[in-house]
Amino acid sequence: MAKEIERRFLVQKALWQAIGRPAACGFDAIRQGFLSTVKERVVRVRVVGERGILTIKGLTRGFSKVEFEYDIPLADAQSLLDELCEHPLIEKVRYRVEHGGVLWEVDEFSGENKGLLLAEVELADEQQPVELPVWVGQEVSSDVRYFNSNLSVMPFSRWGEVH
């Protein structure tokens, strides 16, 4: 059984843009959708380049959750996204940035989540100290609104509509 330990942060857009992303180690366009957004068992389908991926995640406890990830045929992933996944789909560009001895992933969302910029870092242990890059802002690890599964149900662009 695999375990994912991650922390999430808002990105200070002006500082991120001032850097001009020169420190990025690479990036990927990602299109993803959810077959299940039940918090106890989230099932995600993702297309990254020419790769199809099926991921099953358990309930988040602290910063940790169980996670199973499998490659699936690209055509199957695309069909699942188009025909079975909940909409809207999550669309984003993910930048990879090394900082303080760890790999940061910065997601710049488009589509219905346009304007949202999140950074996450995967850790070996929940207590692992993390050196925050200058462009990292408020931590949102415990704020379920920022989980991708919830962004597919209540996209960032609609948050102003909630009273």
Would you kindly state where each structural domain of the chain is located, as residue ranges?
A: 2-161
The answer to whether the bond into 88 is cis (omega within 30° of 0) is: yes
- Looking at the chain, the number of H-run helices and the number of E-run strands are 3, 9
Query: Positive or negative, the Cα torsion across 50, 56, 58, 64?
Result: negative
Q: What is the DSSP string of 63-92?
A: TEEEEEEEEE-HHHHHHHHHHTS-SSPEEE
Contact criterion met (CB below 8 Å) for 33 and 90: yes
pTM to 2 decimal places? 0.90
The two structure tokens encoding residue 155: 């996209």
- CATH code of the domain occupying 2-161: 2.40.320.10
Q: What is the mean pLDDT of the chain?
A: 92
Read off the pLDDT of residues 19-63 as tens digits, 9 standing for 90 and up.
Answer: 756 556 788 999 999 999 998 999 999 999 999 999 999 998 888
